[in-house]
A and B are shown apart, each in its own frame.
Chain A
């Protein structure tokens, strides 16, 4: 009994319950709309797991949202709600693209340079919201919402400049090839290389057909690093203390405003990293005119929430999210159900994540009540 209670109170159990309910609700909605629920969901899973190509595509799709998720989670720990992840991601994309097009160094210099540009742009942009909060006390949600839109239009402005705009498209040129970070990317540029990849069944279906890149490896390393920074260093303790209780932190000699600024800088930097790895690792390796937000940053919010703000958890939540988005395409393609059902599933999961926070007190009450009667 005690063991069951312990398991029930684990965050992971809560999340799994939420995910389970997400699918149940999706099934009900699909059935109500006239689609066979069980078949539809199995098509969804097939779309994710049925071939190595699908799996590697899911990983590629997940990488940016894992990273923005970690970025949002980091700010969350300091009590900041970084709804500006979207704008920081866009600015990171812009900076990486601009630097990647303007310069053409050998890969050893070019890749770090392009990535650094994205990280710096993201950090700076997150830093603006942090600075305005620390200096003027303006709510970070307020400034971030505005900054997101400014980033979107700034990105569109860059797309119109002659130096970057690729004729007859709505986007920019790709960055110079020396900045690409696909795994075995060089093989794909020559016919001989392609033939070599094609000989191996596994490489043929994963590497040749998709943009497999180093992003996911960096994302995992970063998740561990951020966990270490937050929980095993003095700085991490300060940041979390500010998030936990501002007044108490200030009273014990922690500079609250400085930590708010640092937290937003780092959170923005992580979102910028997500952007630069996206630009260097995925075609079209550039930016395009945006009619609306593409939600890479906003999805990071959901990932962070599903992961209960745990950096390591973001890896799994991001993979779940990426898998749903990617699998949703085959749902639309094969069953004909609108792929928006995926947004509903994710929304319901997040909703139940919010609800399951009440399970621990409930379990407590339940077990206490049981003991009283015994």
Chain B
């Protein structure tokens, strides 16, 4: 019993981690007033970069940081379109979602002899307790990325709500004109936030292909970006809310895995629906009107009144 409980917790943490990174990124970007629907594409870029650099450099950490960098670079595209050019942020985000997987597979085919899968990395990201063999804790011996994700969530909460800079970001997202009057550089703050959002999404993608599975595959990132987006809305645009939403989603996945052991006569495809059904149920029961940051999705124009 205790063992299966720990297995459940372990799987929950494992599945939720890529989502946590990406969702935190989403929170940061949306809080500054830029909708980021392109998380999925940024995660895919991170996933392929992490796995590729991890393979060629031999170090998972080098791959991990490269993935963050790559996510940041593609996020700059989104920032340029939505902040400088005042383009429709949804359209730009969808474009990122098209370009991301396209570039990822294109690069993968070029570097791995036309295969859509990269070769496995020699070293994955280490586990928290190293190569511990104790049976009792084996299931809880999660990847280090799980801890990083948690620390980041706490940090971003602290940053957004307990520091001056966090207040600036939230002000820019709620009422950019007022923030501008107070002497804040709206464009600069938004650029930084979108960049951070891309870096985090990239790290999220890499935490999939460097910790959970050891390589990039075409389905490595399949919908996690959208789930993370859902977690942002579900968590009411707060870091702690988004973190909890990701955990919940991970738990629903873990439930599917632990129930799928063949002890119950439920078809696997029905079980696989569970996380999504549970999410909708919870949305109906607990979440009323969601309240986005007021200026989210609207480009800021200095002259506009």
A136 to B284, alpha carbons, bound, how many Å?
A: 7
| Count class of interface residues, chain B | 35 or more
Contact with A along B258-295 (1 / 0, CB 8 A): 00000000010110110111011001100111100000
Q: Are B269 and A305 interface neighbours, CB within 8 A?
A: no
Q: Which residues of A lie under 8 Å from residue B101 when comparing CB positions? A: 340, 343
Of the residues B94, B110, B280, contact of A301 by C-beta under 8 Å: B94
Q: Which residues of A lie under 8 Å from residue B97 when comparing CB positions? A: 347
A340 to B273, alpha carbons, bound, how many Å?
A: 30
Q: Are B273 and A150 interface neighbours, CB within 8 A?
A: yes
A340 to B289, alpha carbons, bound, how many Å?
A: 39
Q: Are B87 and A354 interface neighbours, CB within 8 A?
A: yes
Q: Are A338 and B109 interface neighbours, CB within 8 A?
A: yes
Cβ < 8 Å to A, chain B residues 62-91: 77, 81, 85-88, 90-91
Segment among B51-59, B154-162, B194-202, B220-228 that sits at the interface with chain A: B220-228
Q: Are B98 and A350 interface neighbours, CB within 8 A?
A: yes
Of the residues B90, B100, B219, B275, contact of A292 by C-beta under 8 Å: B219
A88 to B233, alpha carbons, bound, how many Å?
A: 22
A154 to B267, alpha carbons, bound, how many Å?
A: 11
A282 to B280, alpha carbons, bound, how many Å?
A: 34
Q: Are A138 and B290 interface neighbours, CB within 8 A?
A: yes
Q: Which residues of A lie under 8 Å from residue B280 when comparing CB positions? A: 132, 143, 146-147
Cβ < 8 Å to B, chain A residues 107-152: 132, 136-139, 141-143, 145-150
A154 to B85, alpha carbons, bound, how many Å?
A: 42
Query: With an 8 A cutoff between CB atoms, is A341 at the interface?
Result: yes
Shortest C-beta distance, B249 to chain A (Å), equals 10
Cβ < 8 Å to B, chain A residues 154-200: 154, 156-157, 160
Q: Are A145 and B226 interface neighbours, CB within 8 A?
A: yes
A33 to B110, alpha carbons, bound, how many Å?
A: 8
Contacts A142-B283, A145-B230, A146-B276: A340 and B106 contacting too (C-beta < 8 A)? Answer: yes
Contacts A145-B229, A340-B105, A354-B87: A137 and B267 contacting too (C-beta < 8 A)? Answer: no
Q: Which residues of B lie under 8 Å from residue A67 when comparing CB positions? A: none
Q: Are A150 and B222 interface neighbours, CB within 8 A?
A: no
Query: With an 8 A cutoff between CB atoms, is A346 at the interface?
Result: yes
Of the residues B92, B269, B276, B284, contact of A156 by C-beta under 8 Å: B269
Main SS at interface, chain B: helix
- Interface residues of A, CB < 8 Å — how many? 45
A156 to B270, alpha carbons, bound, how many Å?
A: 9
Q: Are A147 and B109 interface neighbours, CB within 8 A?
A: no
Shortest C-beta distance, B109 to chain A (Å), equals 4
Q: Are A351 and B223 interface neighbours, CB within 8 A?
A: no
A355 to B85, alpha carbons, bound, how many Å?
A: 6
Shortest C-beta distance, A307 to chain B (Å), equals 12
Q: Are B233 and A343 interface neighbours, CB within 8 A?
A: no
Of the residues B94, B100, B223, contact of A149 by C-beta under 8 Å: B223
Query: With an 8 A cutoff between CB atoms, is B99 at the interface?
Result: yes
For B91, B114, B270, B284, the residue with the greatest tally of chain A CB atoms inside 10 Å of its CB is B91
For B77, B86, B90, B269, the residue with the greatest tally of chain A CB atoms inside 10 Å of its CB is B269
Of the residues A83, A139, A347, A357, contact of B233 by C-beta under 8 Å: A139
Shortest C-beta distance, A142 to chain B (Å), equals 5
Shortest C-beta distance, A138 to chain B (Å), equals 5
Q: Which residues of B lie under 8 Å from residue A142 when comparing CB positions? A: 230, 233-234, 283
Query: With an 8 A cutoff between CB atoms, is B122 at the interface?
Result: no
Q: Are B85 and A347 interface neighbours, CB within 8 A?
A: no
Q: Are A354 and B92 interface neighbours, CB within 8 A?
A: yes
Q: Are B277 and A150 interface neighbours, CB within 8 A?
A: yes
Shortest C-beta distance, A196 to chain B (Å), equals 43
Query: With an 8 A cutoff between CB atoms, is A248 at the interface?
Result: no
Q: Which residues of B lie under 8 Å from residue A348 when comparing CB positions? A: 95, 99
Contacts A142-B234, A146-B276, A150-B276: A350 and B95 contacting too (C-beta < 8 A)? Answer: yes
Query: With an 8 A cutoff between CB atoms, is A214 at the interface?
Result: no
Q: Are A33 and B230 interface neighbours, CB within 8 A?
A: no
Q: Which residues of A lie under 8 Å from residue B47 when comparing CB positions? A: none
Shortest C-beta distance, A337 to chain B (Å), equals 9
Q: Are B267 and A347 interface neighbours, CB within 8 A?
A: no
Shortest C-beta distance, A18 to chain B (Å), equals 10
A6 to B171, alpha carbons, bound, how many Å?
A: 39
Q: Are B81 and A355 interface neighbours, CB within 8 A?
A: yes
Nearest neighbor of B227 in chain A, beta-carbon distance: A145
Query: With an 8 A cutoff between CB atoms, is A153 at the interface?
Result: yes
Nearest neighbor of A135 in chain B, beta-carbon distance: B284
| 10 more CB-based (< 8 A) A-B contacts, given A132-B283, A351-B92 | A33-B106, A138-B290, A145-B230, A302-B94, A305-B94, A338-B114, A344-B103, A347-B102, A358-B85, A358-B86
* A-B interface, 5 closest residue pairs, ranked by CB to CB distance from nearest: A343-B102, A347-B98, A347-B99, A351-B95, A354-B87
The contact sample of 12 A-B pairs, CB cut-off 8 A, is A137-B288, A146-B277, A149-B273, A150-B277, A305-B94, A344-B106, A347-B98, A350-B94, A351-B96, A354-B91, A355-B85, A358-B85
